[in-house]
Amino acid sequence: MSRTTKLIELRCPEHMRPGQRETLVSEGHVCGYCHGNGFFWGSDQYGHRTKCPCPVCNGSGELDAHIGIEWKARKEAGDGA
Ligand SMILES: [Zn+2]
């Protein structure tokens, strides 16, 4: 079975300040909670079948991954951290 893999290439920015942070966004991942359907079947107050939006993706069926990166000074090896 084929599958798509996304990779992150980490590269230290040329112009930065101490504690620099950056955020990457990877869009359009299939929601694992509803498997991309965007809804679950439920029933309304009258017992009629109704579509209930997925609480994780709000009915879109997809999620965006927001990945935070914080650049910090490297600690010396063996300092227990
Ligand atoms: Zn969902």
**Quick check: 79 pLDDT over 70?**
no
Q: Is it the case that residue 77 has pLDDT exceeding 80?
A: no
DSSP string, the chain: -------------SS--TT-EEEEEEEEEEPTTTTT--EEEEE-TTS-EEEEE-TTTTTSSEEEEEEEEE--PPPPTTS--
Cα 69 to middle of ligand 1, angstroms: 26
> How far apart (Å, rounded) are the C-alpha atoms in residues 68 and 66?
7
- The alpha carbon of 40 and the centre of ligand 1 are apart by a number of angstroms equal to 9
Distance between Cα 36 and ligand 1 center (Å) = 6
Between the CA of 48 and the centroid of ligand 1 the distance, in Å, is 22
User: Domain extents for the chain?
Assistant: 33-70
Cα separation values, 78 from 71, 73, 81, Å: 20, 15, 8
Ligand 1 center from residue 52 Cα (angstroms): 11
Q: What is the pLDDT of residues 7-55, one digit of tens each?
A: 999 998 888 888 899 999 999 999 999 999 999 999 989 999 999 999 9
3, pLDDT greater than 90: no
